[in-house]
Amino acid sequence: MTSDPAVTFAPLSRVAVLGGTHGNEMSGIFLTRHWLKNPSELKRSTFTVTPLLANQPAVDRCVRYIDRDLNRCFTPDILHLDSNEALPLEVRRAKELNCLLGPRGSEEGMHLIIDQHNTTANMGNCLLINNSTNHFCTHMVSYIQRTVEAYECRVLALELKDTNLFDVTSVARHDLGVELGPQSHGVVRAENVERMRKIVQTALDFVEMFNKGVEFPECELDIYRHVRNVDFPRDVDGEICAVIHPERQDRDWLPLRPGDPIFLTLAGRSIPFDGDRTVHPIFINESAYYEKRTAFSVTERVRVRLPPIRRDREGEGASQ
Instruction: Give catalytic residues, as residue numbers.
Output: 179
Looking only at the bridges linking them, the beta strands covering 219-230 and 261-265 are: unpaired
**Rounded (10°) CA dihedral 66, 71, 76, 77:** -30
The helix or strand, by DSSP H or E, that contains position 97, with its residue range, turns out to be helix 89-101
Q: Is 170 helix (H, G, I), strand (E, B) or coil?
A: helix
Is residue 318 within 8 A of residue 8, CB to CB? The reply is yes
Q: 82: alpha, beta or left, given left = phi > 0 and alpha = psi -120 to 50?
A: beta
Closest listed residue to residue 175, CA positions, set 165, 183, 188, 184 = 165
CA distance 132 to 306: 9
Residue 182, preceding peptide bond in cis (omega within 30° of 0): yes
Looking only at the bridges linking them, the beta strands covering 7-9 and 14-19 are: unpaired
Is residue 31 within 8 A of residue 129, CB to CB? The reply is no
